[in-house]
Structure 1
Amino acid sequence: MGVLQSEEDLNVICLIPSLITIKFQDFFSPKAEKLICGTTSSKFAAVCCMTASGPAFWGLINPEWSLCNKGRRQSPVNLEPNKLLFDPNLRPLHIDKHRVSGSISNTGHSVIFTVDNDTRHHINVTGGPLSYKYQFQEIHIHYGLHDQFGSEHSINGYAFPAEIQIFGFNSQLYSNFSEALHKAQGIVVISLLLQLGDLSNPELRILTDQLDKIKYGGEEIEVKRLSVRGLLPETDYYMTYDGSTTMPACHETVTWLILNKPIYITKQQMHALRKLMQGDAKHPKAPLGNNFRPPQPLYHRPVRTNIDFNVKHPGVNGKQCPSMYKDVYYKANSWKQH
């Protein structure tokens, strides 16, 4: 309970989005700087969430989950290009490069990599919009049973086949992940949107190579020497906003960063993900996929970006200086694999 159920389990009619053919190189780019190849106005339509245990009912099932229905800083969201706010004070994001070991598990709701608690060298996340140091804790994988949807965040209505979320907790204010989860500025999540390609990210392969060993809910396998930094695409650009966890209790304690390029996943890897089941070997239940929450209202929250539009405004003594502004012009780039 607590995840969007698969299509086989649905007893109501659901709207499934048609395939959007426009793809992206950088998700957004300044109109003045980069080639603009097209846009899409299609709205994201999630797999139906109207089952009695689906996201629309989380706040009704358990009073402790009331934020899921009543909160005004919920995640995920649809990122709209024309509402991005350039912030010149946003710094580059930094993640330690060393490798860590841990375990990957099929929880029956999601695929999660958890770092070993006794690791000697923690991976720290700093910079970006963060005022504190955050310690890497786990990785979640959300994906769809079809290529047209699966990511939790969408861009101008376009959903990706999958999304990887890298979780860290505020290690300067809190002693562990559980404590930070419901405390102010407790959690950072770095979102990587996944696009289909012929070659996948090498670190992603370390995780997906273990999927045949965790086919059923409750199964877990050890993973050695994973580079979290190596999962990230080659870009310094990102979007950021204040939001929540995308699972109950929907704590509004998360600083989100969505990187401005996807990483690649092959069709074979997606097939391996889609073979995972919610239940055990005797009672496999339904496929694990479609484990994503639909986009939530922004309620006028700003979504900031460090992508510089190279627009200058008159400053002191005639000098030109950047400033925060909302007059931005973004369109989706056509996708070209490099």
Structure 2
Amino acid sequence: METTEMRGGAASRGLRFLVSTWLLMLLVTSETNGVTWNWNQWWTYDGISGTDFWGLINPDWSLCSKGRRQSPIDIDPARLLYDPNLRLLHIDKHRVSGLLENSGHSVVFTLDGGKVPLNVTGGPLSYRYQLTEAHLRYGNADLLGSEHTINGKAFPAEIQLFGFNSQLYANFSQALDKAYGIVGISLLLQIGERSNPALSQLTAGVDQIKYVGNTYTVHHLSVHDLLPDTSYYMTYEGSTTMPACHETVTWVISNKPIYITKQQLFSLRQLTQAEDANKGGAPLANNFRPPQKLHHRPVRTNIDFSNAGGSCPSMHREAYYKANTWTHS
């Protein structure tokens, strides 16, 4: 007997097929008329160019729909695997400068390469990685915005620090589709009365990047100071969370949030996907991909549950979590 769920699934697949067919016809028509199709301008986070369709229209993005190591994921505290071999994660402490940009998909901070690279070592990593950029994800409401979720609950925002394997590859672009190519460090953001000072420095000029392509320079930022005051984390093997969804990312999710104020979130929500004031555009908020299936991947942690008093409390309580409740005092 056909169930409502089965009919709903079939209808959803039918809709995706129809939309992908329409997009393919649009692509062919555009190419026939001499119009260049820009994939980076096409994709969004909702509608017919949203996350459900990334892997259906562009063959180069097939991992977005067919991959089995996709990101982000929901982290179930009950399924975490303690790994005593995991080391402390180390990020260089020297300050860097760079450009903060409204990319049309996210707020992106690109580090100035400079003479001294900002390196990440330790943790689950076997190689040295050089940080190159950070992406800020956030929602248009306080109860959603992060890509990674904890026990089914989202946070208002998430900062993702990305670096490439500088021992095997020459740059980020070369490493993006290669084995052990990328590290992604996830910092989940919770609303507080005071912001993390480094985050305040990073977002101080957000009003200058309202439109796509707008940039401003951030000077002498300590990326290390963005990190919460905990050495505990979770880690798994996953992918980039934008097309082409390359499954080359070792993810490290800090087990404690950093804080952002309501005013900072309000300012971020004023950013738009429009190129200027004369062109209408949707808000930049809600720039997050939904959690993907885990497909039996292990999610490891350096939290030793045997020192937590024999119990494993919920990591998410009233929209926040604290690592200190897990560990031996």
Same fold by TM-score greater than 0.5: yes
Instruction: Tell me the TM-score range normalised by the shorter chain.
Output: 0.7 to 0.9
2:202 paired residue among 202, 207, 211 = 207
Partner of 2:233: 238
**What per-residue deviation string (whole Å, max 9, x for no partner) do you get for residues 9-64 of structure 1?**
xxxxxxxxxxxxxxxxxxxxxxxxxxxxxxxxxxxxxxxxxx21001100012010
Identity of aligned residues (%): 63
Cα distance between partner residues in 1 of 2:187 and 2:51: 22
C-alpha spacing 1:53/1:336, structure 2 compared with 1 (3 Å): closer
1:179 paired residue among 174, 182, 193 = 174
Please state if 1:75 is matched with 2:71: yes
Please state if 1:104 is matched with 2:104: no
Please state if 1:219 is matched with 2:214: yes
Partner of 1:44: none
Partner of 2:129: 134
Size of the aligned set, in residue pairs, is: 278
Cα distance between partner residues in 2 of 1:333 and 1:244: 24
C-alpha spacing 1:336/1:249, structure 2 compared with 1 (3 Å): closer
Cα distance between partner residues in 2 of 1:283 and 1:83: 47
Cα distance between partner residues in 2 of 1:3 and 1:221: 24
Partner of 2:87: 91
Is this contact kept in 2: 1:82–1:330, CA < 8 A?
A: no
C-alpha spacing 1:192/1:241, structure 2 compared with 1 (3 Å): same
Please state if 1:331 is matched with 2:314: yes
Q: TM (normalized to structure 1)?
A: 0.80
Q: What SS does the corresponding residue of 2:281 show, helix, strand or coil?
A: coil
Cα distance between partner residues in 1 of 2:103 and 2:200: 20
2:300 paired residue among 301, 304, 307 = 304
Structure 2 residue runs of 5 or longer lacking an equivalent are 1-41, 325-329
Is this contact kept in 1: 2:82–2:303, CA < 8 A?
A: yes
Cα distance between partner residues in 2 of 1:284 and 1:169: 36
Structure 1 residue runs of 5 or longer lacking an equivalent are 6-50, 312-326
CA drift of 1:309 comes to 1.7
1:2 paired residue among 27, 35, 43 = 43
**What per-residue deviation string (whole Å, max 9, x for no partner) do you get for residues 123-164 of structure 1?**
100000000000010000000000110000000011000000
Any residues of structure 2 matched to 1:188-199 within 5 Å, and which?
188-199=183-194
CA drift of 1:223 comes to 1.0
CA drift of 1:166 comes to 0.4
| Aligned AA (2:56) | L
Any residues of structure 2 matched to 1:132-171 within 5 Å, and which?
132-171=127-166
Larger proportion of helix: 2
CA drift of 1:332 comes to 2.9
| Aligned AA (1:258) | I
CA drift of 1:330 comes to 4.1
Is this contact kept in 1: 2:151–2:316, CA < 8 A?
A: no
Cα distance between partner residues in 1 of 2:315 and 2:136: 25
CA drift of 1:116 comes to 1.1
Q: TM (normalized to structure 2)?
A: 0.82
Cα distance between partner residues in 2 of 1:158 and 1:336: 10
Is this contact kept in 2: 1:82–1:328, CA < 8 A?
A: no
Cα distance between partner residues in 2 of 1:138 and 1:170: 13
Q: What SS does the corresponding residue of 1:4 show, helix, strand or coil?
A: coil
Cα distance between partner residues in 2 of 1:239 and 1:304: 6
C-alpha spacing 1:258/1:285, structure 2 compared with 1 (3 Å): same
CA drift of 1:328 comes to 7.7
Q: What SS does the corresponding residue of 1:159 show, helix, strand or coil?
A: coil
Q: What SS does the corresponding residue of 2:247 show, helix, strand or coil?
A: coil
After the TM superposition, which segments of 4 or more aligned residues of structure 1 sit over 4 Å from their partners?
333-338
Q: What SS does the corresponding residue of 1:158 show, helix, strand or coil?
A: coil
CA drift of 1:250 comes to 0.1
**What per-residue deviation string (whole Å, max 9, x for no partner) do you get for residues 151-205 of structure 1?**
0000001100000000010000000000000000000000000000000001101
